[in-house]
Amino acid sequence: MLSISVKEFLYWKKKQLSKGGDQQSLTFLIECLGGISNKDLNLSIINFEGKLHLKKNLDFLESIWEYHLYSSSPIQYLCGATFWRDLKLKVTDKVLIPRPETELLVDIVSKIFGKKSQKVYFAELGTGSGAISIALALAYPLWKGVATDIDEEVLEIAIKNYRNSSNESNLEFYCGHWWNPLKSFQGKFDLAISNPPYIPRDTYENLPKEVKNFEPKIALFGGDDGLKHISEIIQKAPFFLKENGWLILENHFDQGKKVKQLFIKNKFQSVEIVNDLSGVGRFTIGRYK
Ligand SMILES: C[S@@+](CC[C@H](N)C(=O)[O-])C[C@H]1O[C@@H](n2cnc3c(N)ncnc32)[C@H](O)[C@@H]1O
């Protein structure tokens, strides 16, 4: 641990921000690699002569910050980790950085299933860093889950994240295209969740360079209209869900109505569009018969 005065640290922080970038990314770097949370920093500001204890020296943090500004690489990739709900997850440029809006998926599940004593069998398709499945497996130790991804390297990261977060063994991982690796689980799931790639071609081409040049295309691009993967997941879901099993999907901000129609066309009931915290119809949920 390296000791530094609050005054010196605040001066350093101000200097870094004057070079560019946003406060949120710098705060993230300081917490993730420096080991000082924003809350700790705010508490220490009452005594400028007090000491802060850093896990890495300022020159090292500065070199990462400058590389971030120069390359536009997301700070999470440069730090090799991200925070999501109460988890710290390893991320590399093979996996999508899990987004804050996706955190709500876990709350939607909790609202539907409520009691922790109930046993639920869930599947997550396209798990990426494992964020959603790990959060569910931790919140509901009695539940059992399977998480899939098309990419073996992505799954390795998800598995590492699970092992780092939990001593339980209520989550298994399978590699393959959407439902394909789950053929032996037909009719078994009470719940299936997915945040699939749903960005339409035009939008994908115009994504900010921090996203388009760094995050995996396979995690983002959803075909010409963005609904390619969503349609496939919905169409095949009835083979894998139990009677009255739930399907919960994240979609692009303007896809809610179309996704709802796809649910209805495939004989789902209680179909609803659920808004995210900014009032956008970000999720679609429904029950199979
Ligand atoms: C939008 S990311 C979501 C990742 C993670 N669940 C999250 O919410 O942060 C979509 C994920 O689906 C995976 N994926 C893409 N195509 C797939 C396919 N055909 N079958 C299974 N997984 C796929 C990607 O590798 C990526 O991890």
- 89 occurs within a structural domain: no
The span from the CA of 68 to the CA of 30, in Å, is 13
* Per-residue pLDDT at 68: 98
The alpha helices in the chain, defined as continuous H runs, are 6-18, 23-32, 38-44, 58-71, 75-79, 103-113, 131-139, 152-165, 201-205, 209-212, 217-220, 228-240, 256-265
Same domain for 170 and 260? yes
Mutate to test the pocket of ligand 1, among 89, 96, 104, 230 (most ligand atoms within 8 A of CB): 96
Average pLDDT over residues 117-127: 93
The span from the CA of 275 to the CA of 256, in Å, is 9
Same domain for 176 and 282? yes
Which of 71, 89, 109 is a domain's end point?
71
Count of structural domains, the chain: 2
The span from the CA of 235 to the CA of 105, in Å, is 21
Nearest CA residue ID for atom 17, ligand 1: 150
Q: Residue 161: give its domain's CATH number.
A: 3.40.50.150
CB of 123 sitting under 6 A from ligand 1? no
CB of 102 sitting under 6 A from ligand 1? yes
Average pLDDT, the chain: 96
CB of 271 sitting under 6 A from ligand 1? no
In the predicted structure, residue 27 carries a pLDDT above the cut 80? yes
CB of 197 sitting under 6 A from ligand 1? yes
Same domain for 133 and 232? yes
* Per-residue pLDDT at 163: 97
Tens-digit pLDDT profile for residues 3-26: 999 999 999 999 999 999 999 999
DSSP state, residue 221:
B
Look at 30-34, 48-52, 229-233 and tell me which has the smallest mean pLDDT. 48-52
* Per-residue pLDDT at 217: 98
Average pLDDT over residues 88-100: 98
8 Cα: distance to centroid of ligand 1 (angstroms): 43
Mutate to test the pocket of ligand 1, among 97, 129, 149, 174 (most ligand atoms within 8 A of CB): 149
Q: Which atom of ligand 1 is nearest to the CA of 180?
A: 20
Nearest CA residue ID for atom 24, ligand 1: 219
* Per-residue pLDDT at 274: 98
CB of 132 sitting under 6 A from ligand 1? yes
Among 4, 93, 68, 88, residue whose Cα is nearest residue 40: 4
Distances (CA, A) of 33 to 14, 44, 128, 190: 18, 18, 22, 39
Give the HSE-up count for residue 39: Cα atoms under 13 Å, Cβ half-sphere. 0
Task: Return the C-alpha torsion angle 161, 164, 167, 168, nearest 10.
Answer: -10
Same domain for 125 and 215? yes
122 Cα: distance to centroid of ligand 1 (angstroms): 16
Same domain for 253 and 126? yes
